[in-house]
A and B are shown apart, each in its own frame.
Chain A
Amino acid sequence: MSSVKKDVPAGPAASAAGPRGRRKLSPMAREEQRAGLTLLSPTLILVLVMVVLPILWTLVLAFQRVRILNIRTAGIFGPYTVANFESVFSSSFFTSLGTTLAYSIFGTAGAIILGLIAALALRKPFKGRTLIRASMLIPYVSPIVAVTFTWTTMLDPQFGLINYWGKRLLGWEESIPFLSERAREVSFLGLNFEIPTALIAVIVFEMWRSFPFAFLFLTARINAIPDSLEEAARVDGATPIQRFVHIILPQLLPTIAMLSVLRFIWTFNSFDDIYLLTGGGGGTEVVAVTVFNFLTARGDIGAASAQALVLAVILGLMVGIYIKFFGKKEEVS
């Protein structure tokens, strides 16, 4: 207590000065160091024990032959092998990696474009805008199980609403099993296409669920653009499209870039949506679902770890890119 009092005169000056490299060893700095680590230690311990350590353990498991059956006997220093990786790369891993990429790229792009359209449409105030803005966030905050279940029911071939109205109004000859059909022949302008039905359905769902996130961020950014900029452009005779392309869009680009990276990483990792919608069937098996199946259906912990690890390495690269491009800005702000 007394030492705190003694140091107080130096305190405000020091903390207002921001980074203070030279005073590193002063009693004040040492006290602050200790206090900081003490206050942070519960969090740090929790994250180390429950997150970092498990990730390291995955690393070990990936090089062992561990199955659910021998889970109790497998040790940390067990015999190591690369058999898991061999089986991962020889199986359909690359197919599911391709599916994951397609799902993430189109899901992310779609969600951001939809979010941008929503943000622009709701830009000018009108009566009830606050309520509409809030309702538009509901898909994002709602429980994933409830919304996937509603979608599954809507798309059901037997009593689903979409197929019912499709047959009535759009002249579909038969019900389309949106969530289980791998591919469908479509002819358009005399050309025949094969479109991946189920994959498109899950991508559309992903767009629906995560466009509110993009909408939220883009709205915040648009509101921060000074009106005077656009007013000046208007006086100079710029049309709405020109004002968007030359004034608004450049201001939004950093936000769009941040959203692209964040959403891509999250979509790339996502497990729940696809597991609940299709169970990984119909050509929608993403890596996360494969890992889950290896873990539970086959009980092959080693192979599941190896796959998760490959996924994580790919992601690690992306997180690295994210930190490289956006981490610096964060320190400034």
Chain B
Amino acid sequence: MAVPVETRRPASPSRPPEGSRWTRDVIETKVFGVLRWVVIVGLVLVTLFPFYYMFILSIRPLDSLLRDPGSLAIPFGELDWSSYRNIMTPQEGGGQGFLRFMGNSAMVALGTVLISLLVAIPGSYAISRLNFFGRRQISALFLAVYLFPSILLAIPLFTFFTRLGLRGQLVALLIVYVAQVIPVTIYMLRNYFDTIPTSLEEAAALDGCSRLGVLRRISLPLAMPAIISNGLFVFMIAWNEFLFALLFLVNTRSNWTVSLGLSQLAGSIEVPTTVLMAGSVILTLPIIIIFFAAERLLTEGLTAGAEKG
């Protein structure tokens, strides 16, 4: 699109035939042409710099950081991976035990993905396809839930799980996460089901397929891209979650998630900054990998999910 603009301009009949080359149009086009690149470079720097800084600090020895805090080059001579060793080693081995925290995070996040999909696929199908009493009210309810402050939910759930004696358990976290992501999941999947032509399902129904059979054999395979992107999206939400992990698990170290572990260790003086930066890298890396592996699916899913709520 940009190329024809540039080449067509000199020949364009609408250009003022008079001599002056410096019309407002020409000046603006030139200024914005330059400004555009300045903005792009600036934005890329601003977005990516913190991640670069995070990584650089994680591979520097602590004393070099304290000696020269302004250095941004990768220190080839003094490259130091010991922070990663420290953060991953179990606590009994003198490390911070992040391997275990990663296991906890992965378990909760995968569990959330599985359960929320299992529950939301039939639900979103019903909202998209079937006409039943209260459908609009239920849609509105999910929208409201999606927009409500999680701190409001935190209090009763905290009280509830304390009473049940489940507060330090990963299961409690799992249940809360599923309830939290369900509205988004429903919206994302419903939008996708809406785009699948009904004629395909009707054809299957005419051939004698039951309603569940139609869902399983026709709609589900067609909705696969949406289901996968939604699953990844939910995984990211659950992996990144902090508030409920902090509220529920703070007293049981063995059940900490990576986010919680990092935030708790950041408060203590004994753990050096470089080690915590290694922890940050470890926490961020899975998300960045997932994001770049499924970038197109995820951005589409994100817009679809948020547009509706």
Judged by a CB distance under 8 angstroms, whether A37 is at the interface is yes
Judged by a CB distance under 8 angstroms, whether B141 is at the interface is yes
A330 contacts across to B, CB distance below 8 A: 308
CB closest residue in chain A, given B288: A138
A158 contacts across to B, CB distance below 8 A: 69
Contact A50 B44, beta carbon cutoff 8 Å: no
Bound-state Cα–Cα, A318 to B239, Å: 29
Contact A304 B155, beta carbon cutoff 8 Å: yes
Contact A50 B176, beta carbon cutoff 8 Å: yes
Q: Give the interface segment out of B74-82, B90-98, B277-285.
A: B277-285
A154 contacts across to B, CB distance below 8 A: 50, 53
Judged by a CB distance under 8 angstroms, whether B25 is at the interface is yes
Judged by a CB distance under 8 angstroms, whether A139 is at the interface is yes
Q: Contacts A11-B202, A154-B50, A237-B25 given: A54-B157 contact, CB under 8 Å?
A: yes
Interface size on B, residues (CB 8 A): 114
Which A-B residue pairs are the 10 nearest by beta carbons?
A36-B132, A50-B179, A43-B123, A36-B130, A54-B156, A269-B149, A39-B126, A146-B280, A39-B122, A124-B2
The B contact surface, by secondary structure, is helix
Contact of A141 (CB < 8 Å), options: B65, B125, B148, B291: B291
B162 contacts across to A, CB distance below 8 A: 68, 71
Bound-state Cα–Cα, A308 to B154, Å: 10
Contact of B143 (CB < 8 Å), options: A49, A216, A323: A323
Q: Contacts A54-B160, A134-B295, A150-B54 given: A39-B2 contact, CB under 8 Å?
A: no
A121 contacts across to B, CB distance below 8 A: 36, 39-40, 43
Bound-state Cα–Cα, A323 to B142, Å: 12
What are 17 A-B contacts with C-beta separation under 8 Å? Answer: A15-B131, A55-B148, A55-B156, A57-B156, A121-B36, A132-B40, A134-B295, A136-B44, A139-B50, A145-B242, A149-B263, A150-B50, A160-B69, A212-B47, A241-B28, A288-B149, A311-B152
CB contact list, B275-309 vs A, under 8 A: 276-277, 279-281, 283-284, 287-288, 291-292, 295, 298-299, 302-303, 306-308
- With most chain B CB atoms within 10 A of its CB, the pick from A11, A50, A61, A305 is A50
Q: Give the interface segment out of A89-97, A180-188, A290-298.
A: A290-298
A141 contacts across to B, CB distance below 8 A: 236, 240, 287-288, 291, 298
Contact of B50 (CB < 8 Å), options: A20, A33, A38, A147: A147
B127 contacts across to A, CB distance below 8 A: 36, 40
A72 contacts across to B, CB distance below 8 A: 163
Judged by a CB distance under 8 angstroms, whether A83 is at the interface is no
Contact A150 B53, beta carbon cutoff 8 Å: yes
Contact A135 B182, beta carbon cutoff 8 Å: no
Judged by a CB distance under 8 angstroms, whether B249 is at the interface is no
CB closest residue in chain A, given B115: A46
Say how far A305's CB is from chain B's closest CB, in angstroms: 5
Q: Contacts A58-B156, A265-B147 given: A150-B123 contact, CB under 8 Å?
A: no
Bound-state Cα–Cα, A293 to B106, Å: 29
Bound-state Cα–Cα, A30 to B283, Å: 50
CB contact list, B1-40 vs A, under 8 A: 1-2, 5, 12, 14, 16, 24-25, 28-29, 32, 36, 39-40
Could you count the A-B residue pairs with CB atoms below 8 Å apart for me: how many are there?
313
Contact A46 B182, beta carbon cutoff 8 Å: yes
Contact A5 B208, beta carbon cutoff 8 Å: yes
Bound-state Cα–Cα, A142 to B281, Å: 10
The A contact surface, by secondary structure, is helix
Judged by a CB distance under 8 angstroms, whether B129 is at the interface is yes
Interface residues on A, range: 35 or more
B210 contacts across to A, CB distance below 8 A: 1, 4
Judged by a CB distance under 8 angstroms, whether B259 is at the interface is yes
Say how far B51's CB is from chain A's closest CB, in angstroms: 7
Judged by a CB distance under 8 angstroms, whether B144 is at the interface is yes
Judged by a CB distance under 8 angstroms, whether B221 is at the interface is no
Contact of A29 (CB < 8 Å), options: B131, B205, B287: B131
- With most chain A CB atoms within 10 A of its CB, the pick from B48, B147, B277, B303 is B147
Judged by a CB distance under 8 angstroms, whether A144 is at the interface is yes
Bound-state Cα–Cα, A212 to B48, Å: 12
Say how far A25's CB is from chain B's closest CB, in angstroms: 11
A319 contacts across to B, CB distance below 8 A: 143-144, 147-148
Give 12 A-B pairs besides A66-B159, A154-B50 with Cβ atoms closer than 8 angstroms: A4-B211, A15-B202, A32-B132, A57-B160, A71-B162, A71-B163, A125-B1, A126-B2, A142-B287, A145-B263, A146-B262, A208-B47
Interface string of A43-67 (1 = CB under 8 A from B): 1101101111111011001000010
B123 contacts across to A, CB distance below 8 A: 39-40, 42-44
Contact A36 B149, beta carbon cutoff 8 Å: no
Bound-state Cα–Cα, A125 to B186, Å: 34
Q: Contacts A50-B175, A216-B299 given: A137-B291 contact, CB under 8 Å?
A: yes
B276 contacts across to A, CB distance below 8 A: 149
CB contact list, A111-131 vs B, under 8 A: 117-118, 120-122, 124-126
Contact A315 B149, beta carbon cutoff 8 Å: yes
Judged by a CB distance under 8 angstroms, whether B57 is at the interface is yes
A191 contacts across to B, CB distance below 8 A: none
